[in-house]
């Protein structure tokens, strides 16, 4: 009887030991959903990859990267609204997630730019202000917002946006051109001259920069450089086949410098 009990005890110990080993093995072999999803994504198996990312979120609801990756895949498949929803969820968890931040900023910039081109300025402003809230250092978002403000006649706001855009990316020629235009509108001619010279240093063919520079020179009393800048603008517009714009510049120059007047330094 004692032998049977001893044998039963040994069997119980073995069973318990095996169960513990199985539990440890299961824990060790826990599936890495993120790694599995990335592997599927690398094979362009987007739908299965999204399911794996969803499993990762089920396992950890604060997985910002998984939300971002689902959004990126949705964006790849053309579902931009669903993608934006996932990017927002990622940013709600991690406001500085680089991928989600970049993607959400781009989403608002695209919508704002389209709205501006369609003449829907209020909608454009809302979208671009949203882009700036996500990333205040986005040169493109600030530039596009400035263009909307300028189109609305909000010249102070436009100039502030252009200055922010130039600060974020001083090498952006379109920003420097807009900044020069913004300074001209505010009659800050020396600042306009600096911005427009930066444009021409980087790209000597920008006819519109010569036009603005001519205005900046003229209003500072630099008449000969102004006249030369207008002549350069006319020449470059003609080289581009834009006789209409060349004629506009000529008419402006003739107004400032009547043919019978003497040009002074």
pTM of the complete model: 0.78
pLDDT score of 12: 46
pLDDT score of 265: 45
Residue range 124-130: mean pLDDT, rounded:
97
Q: Taking 90 as the threshold, does the pLDDT of residue 69 lie above it?
A: yes
Within the chain, where are the H helices? 2-28, 33-42, 46-59, 64-76, 80-93, 98-117, 121-134, 139-151, 155-168, 173-185, 189-202, 207-219, 223-239, 243-256
Lowest average pLDDT, out of 3-17, 104-118, 136-150, goes to: 3-17
Q: Write out pLDDT tens, residues 131-171.
A: 999 999 999 999 999 999 999 999 999 999 999 999 999 99
Task: For residues 154 and 100, give the distance between their C-alpha atoms in angstroms, rounded to a whole number.
Answer: 31
> Average pLDDT over the chain, rounded to whole?
87
pLDDT score of 157: 97
Q: What domains does the chain contain, in order, with CATH numbers?
A: 197-265 (1.25.40)
If phi > 0 it is left, if psi is from -120 to 50 it is alpha, else beta; for residue 135 that is: beta
């Amino acid at each position: 009887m004692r032998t049977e009990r001893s044998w039963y005890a040994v069997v119980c110990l073995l069973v318990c030991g095996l169960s513990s080993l199985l539990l440890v093995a299961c824990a060790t072999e826990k599936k890495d959903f993120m790694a599995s999803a990335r592997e599927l994504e690398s094979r362009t198996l987007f739908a299965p990859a999204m399911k794996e990312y969803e499993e990762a979120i089920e396992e950890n609801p604060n997985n910002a990267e998984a939300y971002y990756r689902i959004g990126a895949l949705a964006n790849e498949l053309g579902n931009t609204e669903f993608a934006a929803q996932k990017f927002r969820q990622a940013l709600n968890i991690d406001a500085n997630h680089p991928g989600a931040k970049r993607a959400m900023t781009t989403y608002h910039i695209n919508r704002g730019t389209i709205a501006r081109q369609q003449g829907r300025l209020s909608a454009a402003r809302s979208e671009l202000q949203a882009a700036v809230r996500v990333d205040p250092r986005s040169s493109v978002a600030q530039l596009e917002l400035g263009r909307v403000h300028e189109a609305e006649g909000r010249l102070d706001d436009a100039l502030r946006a252009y200055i922010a855009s130039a600060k974020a990316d001083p090498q952006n020629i379109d920003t420097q051109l807009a900044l020069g235009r913004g300074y001209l509108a505010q009659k800050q001619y020396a600042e306009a001259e600096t911005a427009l010279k930066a444009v021409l240093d980087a790209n000597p063919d920008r006819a519109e920069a010569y036009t603005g520079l001519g205005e900046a020179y003229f209003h500072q009393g630099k008449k000969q450089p102004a006249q030369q800048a207008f002549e350069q603008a006319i020449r470059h517009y003609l080289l581009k086949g834009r006789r209409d714009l060349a004629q506009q510049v000529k008419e402006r120059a003739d107004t400032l410098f009547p043919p019978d007047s003497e040009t002074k330094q």
